[in-house]
Amino acid sequence: DAKTTQPTSMDCAEGRAANLPCNHSTISGNEYVYWYRQIHSQGPQYIIHGLKNNETNEMASLIITEDRKSSTLILPHATLRDTAVYYCIVRVYSGGGADGLTFGKGTHLIIQP
Amino acid sequence: SAVISQKPSRDICQRGTSLTIQCQVDSQVTMMFWYRQQPGQSLTLIATANQGSEATYESGFVIDKFPISRPNLTFSTLTVSNMSPEDSSIYLCSGGLAGGTGELFFGEGSRLTVL
């Protein structure tokens, strides 16, 4: 799986949009970008994933650059409960069943009241 | 989606003993995995739990230290053997659904402290 680079930590004001960047310059054509988060003392939680098109669900939006070398996770209206470590993971997915994920250090997002 | 339950949620153990962690999934998953999260660190994949056959271990992890069983599609166990204080970690179980979106579901983890 391709390597990702994320800022160690970020702050965001409550109610504002939180934009979390991820660099994956060595991504290959069949690798997806996945985002997970881990709230303190909980297991990781899936947020969103995409291949090359922008994606949106009830939790977040994922913007992938045209060259696919970077992406941004957007939490549109951050709340205090969004304080967590956010992991950007690049991996191949064939559809036949999930493979183990390789977690980097992630970004510690702190939402400020 | 899948709900993953782990037992125990936490335990304090003595050096040299072994502890078995159980993982139960509420639906059939294709793959099950075990992770370790050391204090202040990210998650590290220990092994893939294969139904009815030996687990597939990642580099740095061996069967003698972390024996894993998976007798069916919804249940797996991880044993941490001959524990030392360095084994103090959170151990997490996860699973993925065939034909899904490739997302993995995680349990809440089992926090192990070795004295």
Peptide bond just before B8 cis, omega within 30 deg: yes
Cβ-Cβ contacts under 8 Å between A and B: the total is: 69
- CA B10 to chain A, closest CA, distance in angstroms equals 11
In terms of CA atoms, which chain B residue is nearest residue A93? Answer: B102
Tell the burial category of A75 from Cβ atoms under 10 Å away from its Cβ (0-12, 13-18, 19+).
buried
- The answer to whether the Cβ–Cβ distance between B102 and A32 falls below 8 Å is yes
- The answer to whether the Cβ–Cβ distance between B43 and A42 falls below 8 Å is no
Percent helix, strand, coil in chain B (nearest 5)? 5, 50, 45
Q: How far apart are the first and last CA of chain A?
A: 37
Q: What is the pLDDT of residue B97?
A: 77
In terms of CA atoms, which chain A residue is nearest residue B6? Answer: A43
Element (H, E) at B84: none
- The answer to whether the Cβ–Cβ distance between B96 and A97 falls below 8 Å is yes
Q: How far apart are the first and last CA of chain B?
A: 37
Residues of chain B with C-beta less than 8 angstroms from the C-beta of A43? 4, 92, 94, 106-109
Q: What is the pLDDT of residues A41-71, one digit of tens each?
A: 899 999 999 999 899 999 999 999 999 999 9
C-alpha B68 chain-centroid distance: 8
Mean pLDDT of B44-54: 92
AA identity, residue B15 = R
Q: What is the pLDDT of residues B55-98, one digit of tens each?
A: 999 999 999 999 999 999 899 999 999 999 999 999 999 998 76
Determine contact, residues B78/B34, Cβ cutoff 8 Å.
yes
Mean pLDDT of B37-66: 94
- CA B17 to chain A, closest CA, distance in angstroms equals 25
Residue A2 confidence class, pLDDT cut points 50, 70, 90: low
- CA A17 to chain B, closest CA, distance in angstroms equals 24
- The answer to whether the Cβ–Cβ distance between A45 and B106 falls below 8 Å is yes
Instruction: Give the whole-number percent of chain A exceeding pLDDT 90.
Output: 81
B44 phi and psi, to 5 degrees?
-120, 130
